[in-house]
């Protein structure tokens, strides 16, 4: 039987036995309900219960709760137990409170009072009980109530060691929910010096606390580095008998060692002092040396503890990435683990090697283990280990071994687990594209992917192969020939039909000379798949057919027959119906010349970051092994996340403006924040697409900063460099505005001390009041956070606020300022009016202070439709048929401020000969006149 | 930092749960269900570590009980296995060759021991001797103070031996 010590509660044991004997769920519920009724009546009854009974019932309630049932009473009785002078009753009370935290404010006050009393106790057992309870609950209330006591307990000389340990971790728990609980100043050095404490338990607990404090404020706690290095060095060189009970299976203080090694990873470089660095390197070498020594015990605990320290040391070596010698040694060590008989070690070695593969010092070393890693991918029994091997192959891939690795991955894909196929497909597609020197190889790889794992080939993958084929003339004929052959398989995947349809539609003519792939043969082959495909693919095929009419006029009638088919012309799918009828008309009405123009070959896509990579990053945020350090050597122009979703196939954009076709052929995934349609209609579609994805998306320079363009639009990418992308979405109503700024960390490390500060003088703030929400100080790798701003226009103002963004990236401070898209025109309400009333008002506003005029040179070439688009985005109403000269543009709008509404008229007159513009602004307020005129000058 | 620890049987019955992060009850139940199913489906020689959501799962089976911990991405997996082992050693020492029934019938003790080993998801005391000392001093306090109703409770019937 189970041994019962001291306080065994018979009633409880009987109850537990009863529950265990229940044959069914229903019986259990019945027994529990009976017990709950019993306890409820006891608690409500006239007879006062003594402590033991209360304890027993509270414990039963706890047991019932832990079985998964709801408990809605008993909290008061549990709180009563807290103040019992019997320890066992108190302890059960605390346990109940910790497990069933109740936010009921009355109870919390009582609980806090009990905890306060116990913290004062002279008995350390009571103090620890109270500390454990605070840590278990860890709420804001707790932090506020004990922000004085706990730090004192931690550093006071009178506190016993066991209490210090609990106090350190209790403080850490509270710090996580309420960072302001940690006192600064002299406390900092006292906390740091806990690393020197005699008692190993105290040091271990304190190191956890210090690690969290360092993450928050690395500079203030920098002093911990030297102490940590020397403590670590002493442990590592200690004999296992030195540390007595802190030696775990012959490994001296493994927990403390690992924590110290983690602590040091908060700094990069770990230290500037040569002496400290030398001592650290020596220590790391000792750890690596020990790995080679014969084990002191055969127990797995010994090897786990020893290797835990070793892996953490390797993490630090990788993190510093500065000691080639250590990196190479680490790599050799991990290589040995790859064939260890412990699955756990093989798994961790593969994982660690993924990081080593990204260091220029150890990349070549990692490659030496390629054979073993490939074997791991194929032979490991555990899918998570196989997956890790795939990750490593991806990370170690470069131009030299790409063909081999891709081939191996393709081979494996045929039998790979379903759970990892999709990710493998993405990885193969990325590697093939990134390291292709011969694009026929790339085309083969992707078609193989579709053949082997068609279901797992996402849109991005087949979109991408089409983009690349269109951009590379040398591969077009080959691609056409290959897809044609692939389509001849009796059963081919729908994705193959899509790719085949698209490529033959563009480049089928390149293989039409061969009688085996004559136009009619191509058409019949494609059409034989038509009825097996989804509507989306059919729509694509219909586009291919109309292109065929242009490429191969000789088969026009065959194709027209297909368009005319009942199932197409009267298809239940509106898109198919529309395409069939419009294409049919086009083929009948249009002359050969028109047809050739409309169905001209696709223009090249702008080079940009593979959209597939973006998908992979999204799938595994922060975990895509980035081999970007070697990226710089590769000649392929990779631009940042600049995306283009406006690339609609030219033949379709002229025929059809349904969204389905944009999706189908706009071969990319737009970032989610790009096409936000705010409630404000100021941002026209053309404007968003035209500007955001304009010429500088091809720009290789690091930073893209678009503020000027935001005069005419509300949403898009405001700023971008290699570390950070800032997107903005905004909406305005009357004199109020709301902005969402989206900060995206593009790097593989967290950006810390992240702090955007508004720069807008107090004087300006009286006119435009901007409120900004605070954001988290850490922006995790690959993550995006949002910051909300609200703006209230009180009176008209000039210019716009800026924000200064500062953060730490890899230990270096970064700072830049960005102007917010918050110029006064955002508060425009467009006003519709006819010519008569426009000119009447125009004449009324003829006072000296109400007029402002500028003449400026037009941007080359003079672009009138572009100017019109911009004005539509500016916020005023663009009025047609008002100005007798159709080239002139006139606008009207009202600026909403809290104090008044300011009517504003504008006229922009182009002079085509002189390539100049004359801008005239008239408004009822002088400052507005000038500001609007300034804002618009030189913008066209 | 450890996010939570779950103990469950081969039949999937939850025996102990300790949460170091505040999750709503619904979420706790969902997490438990998912993990129990996932882990019970794994074969003996498989890796003890799993990628799961945005954290890592470390688990190990001792006799009929699975010990399963969730840790953060940066935490050390091997050492987490040894935290589990240390906990098992402590239970074993305290109950004297521990078995699942000990934990069922004395779940409160299992919690008390865990609280001495870990606080807020961080290891507090790695020395086995020190943890046992702390637990012993708690028991000592309890034995001093056994109340009258305890005897009443046990007096009217002899405690029937329970089957293991």
pLDDT at A694: 33
> Which domains, ranges and CATH numbers included, belong to chain B?
2-144 (3.30.450.60)
Banded pLDDT at A2 (limits 50, 70, 90):
very low
Q: What is the pLDDT of residues A62-112, one digit of tens each?
A: 999 988 888 888 988 999 999 988 888 999 999 999 888 755 667 888 899
Backbone angles phi, psi at A811, to 5 degrees: 90, -10
**Which three-class secondary structure state does DSSP give residue A565?**
coil
The single-letter DSSP state of residue A180 is G
Banded pLDDT at B147 (limits 50, 70, 90):
low
> Distance between CA atoms of A815 and A724, rounded to whole angstroms?
11
Angle at A424 between CA A420 and CA A429, to 5 degrees: 160
Of the segments A95-109, A645-659, A858-872, which one has the largest average pLDDT value?
A: A858-872
Facing residue for A382 by CB, picked from B47, B143, B148: B47
**pLDDT tops 60 at residue A385:** yes
A170 vs B119: CB contact, 8 Å cut-off? Answer: yes
Q: How many helices (H) and strands (E) does chain A have?
A: 41, 17
> Distance between CA atoms of A686 and A657, rounded to whole angstroms?
13
Residue at token pair 């999204």 = A618
Banded pLDDT at A194 (limits 50, 70, 90):
very high
> Distance between CA atoms of A557 and A299, rounded to whole angstroms?
81
**pLDDT tops 90 at residue A747:** no
A569-583, A628-642, A810-824: range with lowest mean pLDDT: A628-642
Residue at token pair 């790339």 = A442
Mean pLDDT of B82-98: 95
Q: What is the DSSP secondary-structure string of B84-120?
A: HHHHHHHHHHHHTS--HHHHHHTHHHHHHHHHHHEET
**pLDDT tops 90 at residue A427:** yes
Banded pLDDT at A637 (limits 50, 70, 90):
very low
Mean pLDDT of B30-52: 94
Q: Which residue has the higher pLDDT, A655 or A303?
A: A303
**pLDDT tops 60 at residue A697:** no
Considering chain A, what percentage of its residues have pLDDT values greater than 90?
Answer: 48
> Distance between CA atoms of A920 and A839, rounded to whole angstroms?
13
pLDDT at B153: 59
Residues of chain A positioned with their CB less than 8 A from the CB of B112: 91, 95
> Distance between CA atoms of A571 and A549, rounded to whole angstroms?
22
Q: What is the pLDDT of residues A102-145, one digit of tens each?
A: 556 678 888 999 999 999 998 899 999 999 999 988 888 888 89
Facing residue for A245 by CB, picked from B120, B122, B128: B128
A172 vs B159: CB contact, 8 Å cut-off? Answer: no
Mean residue pLDDT of chain A comes to 85
Residues of chain A positioned with their CB less than 8 A from the CB of B102: 2-3
Nearest chain B residue to A168, by CA: B124
> Distance between CA atoms of A304 and A324, rounded to whole angstroms?
26
**pLDDT tops 80 at residue A615:** no
Banded pLDDT at A692 (limits 50, 70, 90):
very low
Which residues in A914-933 are b (16+ Cβ under 10 Å) and which e? eeebebbbbbbbebbbbbbb
- CA of B68 to nearest chain A CA: how many angstroms apart? 15
Q: What tokens appear for B24 in the block?
A: 């709503």
Q: What is the pLDDT of residues A478-518, one digit of tens each?
A: 999 999 999 999 889 999 999 999 999 999 999 999 999 99
Q: Which residue has the higher pLDDT, A873 or B34?
A: B34
Q: Which residue has the higher pLDDT, A678 or A934?
A: A934
Count how many pairs of residues, chain A against chain B, have C-beta atoms within 8 Å.
201
> Which among A823, A857, A836, A840 has a CA at the least distance from the CA of A903?
A840
Backbone angles phi, psi at A718, to 5 degrees: -85, -40
Mean pLDDT of A627-646: 34
Residues of chain A positioned with their CB less than 8 A from the CB of B159: 8, 10, 13
**pLDDT tops 90 at residue A704:** no
- Give the CATH superfamily of A825-938: TATA-Binding Protein (3.30.310.10)
Facing residue for B47 by CB, picked from A165, A254, A343: A343
Mutate to test the interface with B, among A14, A20, A52, A206 (most CBs of B within 10 A): A52
Q: What count of other Cβ atoms lies within 10 Å of the Cβ of residue A216?
A: 15
Facing residue for B120 by CB, picked from A138, A162, A307: A138
B142 vs A304: CB contact, 8 Å cut-off? Answer: no
Q: Which residue has the higher pLDDT, B142 or B57?
A: B57
CATH number of A704-822: 2.60.40.1230
A344-353, A928-937, B74-83: range with lowest mean pLDDT: A928-937
Mean pLDDT of A26-41: 94
pLDDT at B158: 36
Facing residue for A348 by CB, picked from B77, B141, B162: B77
Residues of chain B positioned with their CB less than 8 A from the CB of A141: none
**pLDDT tops 50 at residue A674:** no
> Which among B140, B147, B101, B93 has a CA at the least distance from the CA of B117?
B93
Banded pLDDT at A761 (limits 50, 70, 90):
confident
Residue at token pair 């050799």 = A332
Nearest chain A residue to B96, by CA: A3
Q: What is the pLDDT of residues A817-839, one digit of tens each?
A: 888 888 999 999 888 888 888 88
**pLDDT tops 60 at residue A683:** no
pLDDT at B138: 87
Sort A67 into a burial class: Cβ within 10 Å, 0-12 / 13-18 / 19+. middle
- CA of A21 to nearest chain B CA: how many angstroms apart? 11
B127 vs A2: CB contact, 8 Å cut-off? Answer: no
Q: What tokens appear for A59 in the block?
A: 């414990």
Rg (CA), chain B: 17
Q: What is the pLDDT of residues A200-231, one digit of tens each?
A: 999 999 999 999 999 999 999 999 999 999 99
pLDDT at A706: 63
pLDDT at A620: 66
- CA of B67 to nearest chain A CA: how many angstroms apart? 16
B119 vs A132: CB contact, 8 Å cut-off? Answer: yes
pLDDT at A563: 92
> Distance between CA atoms of B60 and A343, rounded to whole angstroms?
13
> Distance between CA atoms of A807 and A833, rounded to whole angstroms?
49
Count how many residues are written for chain A.
Answer: 940
A170-179, A522-531, A615-624: range with lowest mean pLDDT: A615-624
A347 vs B49: CB contact, 8 Å cut-off? Answer: yes
pLDDT at A858: 85
Residues of chain B positioned with their CB less than 8 A from the CB of A53: 149
**pLDDT tops 60 at residue A655:** no
> Distance between CA atoms of A85 and A755, rounded to whole angstroms?
50
Name every residue whose Cβ is closer than 8 Å to that of residue B155 and which is 6 or more positions away in sequence: none
**pLDDT tops 80 at residue A675:** no
Residue A739 parent element (H or E): strand A736-745
B123 vs A86: CB contact, 8 Å cut-off? Answer: no
> Distance between CA atoms of A112 and A132, rounded to whole angstroms?
13
Q: What is the pLDDT of residues A579-601, one digit of tens each?
A: 999 999 999 988 888 888 888 88
Mean pLDDT of A286-297: 95
Q: What is the pLDDT of residues A155-187, one digit of tens each?
A: 888 899 999 999 999 999 999 888 888 887 888
Q: Which residue has the higher pLDDT, A430 or A630?
A: A430
Mutate to test the interface with B, among A14, A125, A135 (most CBs of B within 10 A): A135
- CA of B124 to nearest chain A CA: how many angstroms apart? 6
List the domain boundaries for chain A. 704-822, 825-938
Facing residue for A245 by CB, picked from B108, B111, B127: B127
**Which three-class secondary structure state does DSSP give residue A732?**
strand
> Which among B35, B79, B72, B21 has a CA at the least distance from the CA of A622?
B72
Q: What is the pLDDT of residues A866-905, one digit of tens each?
A: 888 888 888 899 888 888 888 889 999 999 988 888 889 9
Q: Which residue has the higher pLDDT, A593 or A661?
A: A593
Mean pLDDT of A522-527: 95
- CA of A50 to nearest chain B CA: how many angstroms apart? 8
């Amino acid at each position: 039987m189970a041994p019962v010590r001291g306080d065994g509660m018979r009633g409880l044991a009987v109850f537990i036995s009863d529950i265990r004997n229940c044959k069914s769920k229903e019986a259990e519920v019945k027994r529990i309900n009976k017990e709950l009724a019993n306890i409820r009546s006891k608690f409500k009854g006239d007879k006062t219960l003594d402590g033991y009974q209360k304890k027993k019932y509270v414990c039963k309630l706890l047991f019932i709760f832990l079985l998964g049932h709801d408990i809605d009473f008993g909290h008061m009785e549990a709180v009563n137990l807290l103040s019992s002078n019997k320890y066992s009753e108190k302890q059960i009370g605390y346990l109940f409170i910790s497990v069933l935290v109740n936010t009921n404010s009355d109870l919390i006050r009582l609980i806090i009072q009990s905890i306060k009393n116990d913290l004062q106790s002279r008995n350390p057992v009571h103090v620890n009980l109270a500390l454990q309870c605070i840590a278990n609950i860890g709420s804001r209330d707790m932090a506020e109530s004990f922000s004085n006591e706990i730090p004192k307990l931690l550093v006071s000389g009178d506190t016993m060691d066991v209490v210090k340990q609990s106090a350190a971790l209790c403080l850490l728990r509270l710090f996580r929910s309420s960072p302001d609980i940690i006192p600064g100043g002299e406390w900092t050095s006292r906390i740091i010096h806990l690393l020197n404490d005699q008692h190993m338990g105290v040091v271990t607990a304190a190191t956890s606390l210090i690690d969290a404090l360092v993450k928050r404020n690395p500079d203030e706690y920098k002093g911990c580095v030297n102490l940590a290095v020397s403590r670590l060095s002493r442990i590592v060189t200690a004999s296992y008998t030195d540390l007595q009970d802190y030696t775990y299976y012959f490994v001296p203080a493994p927990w403390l060692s690992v924590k110290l090694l983690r602590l040091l990873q908060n700094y990069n470089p770990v230290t500037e002092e040569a002496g400290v660095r030398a001592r650290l390197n020596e220590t790391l070498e000792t750890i690596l040396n020990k790995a080679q020594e014969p084990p002191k015990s055969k127990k797995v605990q010994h090897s786990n503890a020893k290797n835990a320290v070793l892996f953490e040391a390797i993490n630090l070596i990788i993190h510093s990435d500065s000691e080639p010698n250590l990196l190479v040694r680490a790599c050799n060590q991990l290589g040995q683990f790859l064939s260890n008989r412990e699955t756990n070690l093989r798994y961790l070695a593969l994982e660690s090697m993924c990081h080593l593969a990204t260091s220029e010092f150890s990349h070549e070393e990692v490659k030496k283990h390629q054979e073993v890693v490939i074997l791991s991918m194929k032979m490991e029994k555990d899918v998570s280990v196989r997956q890790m091997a795939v990750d490593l192959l991806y990370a170690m891939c470069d131009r030299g071994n790409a063909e081999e690795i891709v081939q191996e991955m393709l081979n494996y894909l045929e039998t790979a687990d379903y759970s990892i196929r999709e990710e493998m497909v993405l990885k193969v597609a990325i590697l093939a594209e990134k390291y292709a020197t011969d694009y026929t190889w790339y085309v083969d790889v992707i078609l193989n992917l579709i053949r082997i794992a068609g279901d797992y080939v996402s849109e991005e993958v087949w979109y991408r192969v089409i983009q690349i084929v269109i951009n590379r003339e040398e591969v077009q004929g080959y691609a056409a020939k290959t897809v044609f052959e692939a389509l001849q398989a009796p059963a081919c995947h729908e994705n193959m039909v899509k790719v085949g349809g698209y490529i033959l539609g563009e480049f089928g003519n390149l293989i039409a000379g061969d009688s085996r792939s004559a136009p009619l043969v191509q058409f019949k082959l494609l059409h034989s798949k038509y009825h097996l495909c989804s509507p989306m693919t059919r729509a694509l095929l219909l586009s291919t057919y109309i292109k065929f009419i242009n490429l191969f006029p000789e088969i026009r009638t065959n194709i027209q027959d297909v368009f005319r088919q009942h199932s197409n012309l009267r298809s239940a799918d509106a898109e198919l119906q529309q395409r069939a009828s419009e294409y049919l008309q086009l083929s009948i009405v249009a002359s050969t010349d028109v047809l050739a123009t409309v169905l001209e070959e696709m223009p090249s896509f702008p080079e940009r970051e593979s959209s597939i990579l973006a998908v992979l990053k999204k799938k595994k945020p922060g975990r895509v092994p980035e081999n970007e350090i070697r990226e710089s050597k590769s000649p392929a122009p990779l631009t940042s996340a600049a995306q283009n979703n406006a690339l609609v196939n030219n033949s379709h954009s002229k025929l059809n403006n349904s969204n389905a076709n944009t999706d189908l052929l706009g071969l990319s995934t737009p970032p989610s924040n790009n096409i936000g349609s705010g409630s404000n209609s100021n941002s026209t579609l053309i404007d968003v697409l035209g500007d955001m994805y304009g010429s500088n998306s091809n720009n290789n320079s690091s930073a893209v900063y678009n503020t000027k363009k935001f005069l005419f639009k509300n949403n898009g990418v405001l700023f971008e460099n290699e570390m950070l992308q800032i997107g903005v979405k905004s909406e305005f109503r009357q004199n109020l505005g709301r902005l969402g700024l989206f900060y995206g960390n593009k790097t593989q490390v967290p950006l810390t001390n992240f702090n955007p500060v508004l720069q807008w003088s107090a004087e300006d703030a009286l006119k435009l009041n901007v409120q900004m929400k605070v954001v988290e100080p850490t922006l995790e790798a690959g993550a995006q956070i949002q910051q909300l701003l609200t703006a209230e226009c009180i009176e008209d103002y000039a210019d716009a606020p800026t924000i200064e963004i500062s953060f730490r990236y890899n230990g270096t401070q970064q700072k830049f300022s960005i102007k917010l898209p918050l110029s006064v025109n955002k508060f425009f309400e467009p006003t519709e009016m006819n010519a008569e009333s426009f000119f009447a008002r125009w004449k009324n506003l003829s006072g000296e202070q109400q007029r402002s005029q500028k003449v400026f040179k037009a941007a080359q070439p003079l672009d009138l439709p572009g100017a019109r688009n911009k004005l539509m985005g500016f916020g005023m109403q663009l009025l047609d048929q008002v100005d007798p000269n159709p080239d002139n543009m006139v606008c009207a709008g009202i600026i909403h401020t809290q104090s008044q509404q300011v009517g504003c008229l504008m006229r922009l007159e182009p002079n085509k000969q002189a390539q100049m513009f004359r801008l005239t602004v008239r408004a009822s307020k002088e400052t507005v006149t000038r500001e609007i005129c300034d804002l618009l000058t030189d913008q066209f | 930092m450890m996010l939570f620890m779950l103990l469950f049987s081969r039949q999937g019955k939850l025996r102990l749960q300790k949460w170091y992060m505040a999750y709503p009850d619904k979420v706790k139940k969902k997490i438990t269900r998912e993990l129990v199913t996932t882990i019970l489906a794994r074969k003996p020689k498989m890796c003890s570590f799993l990628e799961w959501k945005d954290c890592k799962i470390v688990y190990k089976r001792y006799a009929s009980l699975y010990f399963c911990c969730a840790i953060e991405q940066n935490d050390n997996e091997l050492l987490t296995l040894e935290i589990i082992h240390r906990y098992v050693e402590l239970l074993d020492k305290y109950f004297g060759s521990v078995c699942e029934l000990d934990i069922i019938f004395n779940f409160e003790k299992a919690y008390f021991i865990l609280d001495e080993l870990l606080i807020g998801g961080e290891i507090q005391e790695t020395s086995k001797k020190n943890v046992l000392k702390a637990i012993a001093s708690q028991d000592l306090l309890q034995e001093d103070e056994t109340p009258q109703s305890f005897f009443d409770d046990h007096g009217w019937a002899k405690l029937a031996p329970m089957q293991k």
